[in-house]
Amino acid sequence: MALRGTNQEFGRPYNRRIVLESIRLHGPIARGDIARRVGLTVQTVSTIVRELEEHGYVLSLREEPKGRGLPPATLRINPEGGYAVGIHVTPLGINAALINLSGDVIESSYREAPNATPDHAFELIGAMVLELTALRPGGRVLGIGMALPGPFGVESMSFVGPTTMTGWKDVALRERLAASTGLPAFFETDMAAAAIGERLYGLGTAYSEYYYLYFGVGLGGVMVHDGAALRGAWAMPAKSATFPWCRAASPARAAIAAASNGIFRSRRCGAATSPTPTG
């Protein structure tokens, strides 16, 4: 997917995310190269980079001169500049993962919780988040993402069969997640979260369109177009079908993807100006 900025005044948060994403994908990279990639002026890119440096999200490096003049400074993501937590809730249990700004997994954990009620699940999630964030005392946690089987709130499709979450109908997921952790919260179906996680940190970085086949407690898939999961009826990600499966093929996968989405969405919403310290 091509990253292109905008010169519209309201597009400043968007431009900041695009510049940060370009640094993550192509760093170490010079300011002039970023400007050419995203279609912004070098001055605009420099202003955004200065903000990102002030908040500790990127690092500026300069190589030793090999001749006359100084080589241009290059930029890369500061892995310790921020963290996110990902949660994956299934009818079998709860997975959690802590990742840094580069998408590296710091630690992951799992709790068995067969068919957990929302109250029990959010109690466990709160405890798991405290354990994970304690590994980086003082670190800035940008947000938390939760992935779980969907769709949500669709009477003819939801909460039927072994791949769905019994008792979770009409639960205010974002509000409950934020209240139990004190973090900016986001949620998505596990299939869509994994598909976008693949775009951010996996083989999907090389493609703007692909079909993501997901093996979890069920089997399904999501179509990604121009870097985004396609949405169908009821604003749910477009998918082929969901079939029961014996067990999660990769238990922490969706949790890691959810954390990736937590970072991605926090940056998109302008969280670069409001990091949340912990510890």
Other CB atoms within a 10 A radius of the CB of residue 115 amount to 14
Question: Mind listing the domains of the chain with CATH numbers?
Answer: 9-77 (1.10.10.10), 81-273 (3.30.420.40)
What are residue 55's phi and psi, to 5 degrees? -90, 0
What pLDDT is stored for residue 30 in this prediction?
Answer: 95
Kindly state the tokens that stand for 196: 């976008």
Average pLDDT, rounded, for the chain: 80
In sequence order, the 6+-apart residues with CB closer than 8 A to the CB of 128 are 87, 94, 96, 109, 111
The confidence band for 3, taking pLDDT boundaries of 50, 70 and 90, is low
Per-residue pLDDT for 263 more than 60?
Answer: no
pLDDT tens digits, one per residue of 70-123:
778 999 999 999 999 999 998 889 999 999 998 899 999 999 999 899 999 999
Per-residue pLDDT for 131 more than 90?
Answer: yes
What pLDDT is stored for residue 161 in this prediction?
Answer: 54
